[in-house]
Chains A and B, each alone.
Chain A
Amino acid sequence: SQQGEEDPQALSIQEGENATMNCSYKTSINNLQWYRQNSGRGLVHLILIRSNEREKHSGRLRVTLDTSKKSSSLLITASRAADTASYFCATAQVDTGGFKTIFGAGTRLFVKA
């Protein structure tokens, strides 16, 4: 199975609430990234957290990384309807000749106005 398994698969919240999404992975990583994808559009890079970091903030986003548990979480505070999208975590994994990036199936977030 692929690295980066997110849960929940789908999340529906009210505007103003916080949304938390989790990601687990299986092997050692150099870093973990979170992406957003609006329906039918390309992926947008949100935030990267390195393996030696435990927490990182960017605006309303907060990402944590626990390498001992091989897990990460993405918290979106004070959610807005515009945050409705699919969110993916991705890990960079060493492979023969270089790195490859592995994505999970994503969490679909729906923020109700």
Chain B
Amino acid sequence: SQTIHQWPATLVQPVGSPLSLECTVEGTSNPNLYWYRQAAGRGLQLLFYSVGIGQISSEVPQNLSASRPQDRQFILSSKKLLLSDSGFYLCAWSVIYPGTGNTEAFFGQGTRLTVV
């Protein structure tokens, strides 16, 4: 069965420090991968998505970047964190079902990042 791993679950980082959040997917190949951010009490905001290795689309300008070095690995990074980067970050993957074109998305448990 497919699973998604996202770590760490919580992270406290000082302003100006770098960030690296990792997400890996098992049990599927060539998934679409996503990074979302959710500010406290707010909805989800799509940050990046990737349809393949090395292919990254950025949805909003920000202090973050994403990379996909392997088919089932998606990394969210920052060179220098800002206070406004605090939030709940979710990794997700989706699969497109051949024939129907229907898709389902699956999420990791999230990383709560606090920038202090």
B residues 20-53 near A (Cβ < 8 Å) are 32, 34, 36, 41-46, 49, 51-52
Chain A interface size, as a band, is: 20 to 34
A residues 96-113 near B (Cβ < 8 Å) are 96-106, 108
Given A42-B109, A48-B104, A92-B103, A100 and B44 contact (CB-CB distance below 8 Å): no
The SS class assigned to the A binding surface is strand
Query: A70 an interface residue at 8 Å Cβ cutoff?
Result: no
Q: List residues of chain B with CB under 8 Å of any chain A CB.
A: 6, 32, 34, 36, 41-46, 49, 51-52, 55, 57, 88, 90, 92, 94, 96, 100-110, 112
Residues B102 and A97 in contact, CB atoms below 8 Å apart: no
The 8 A-B pairs of least Cβ separation, nearest first, read A105-B43, A98-B51, A42-B109, A43-B107, A103-B44, A92-B103, A97-B51, A101-B105
Residues A35 and B43 in contact, CB atoms below 8 Å apart: no
- What separation, in Å, do the CA atoms of A90 and B41 have in the docked complex? 18
Query: A59 an interface residue at 8 Å Cβ cutoff?
Result: no
Cβ contact of B43, chosen from A33, A95, A96, A104, cutoff 8 A: A104
Given A41-B110, A100-B34, A30 and B102 contact (CB-CB distance below 8 Å): yes
| Chain A residue at minimum C-beta to C-beta distance from B42 | A105
Interface string of A39-54 (1 = CB under 8 A from B): 0111111001010000
Residues of B within 8 A of A90 (CB): 105
Residues B105 and A33 in contact, CB atoms below 8 Å apart: yes
Given A35-B107, A41-B110, A98-B51, A30 and B43 contact (CB-CB distance below 8 Å): no
Given A100-B34, A101-B94, A45 and B106 contact (CB-CB distance below 8 Å): yes
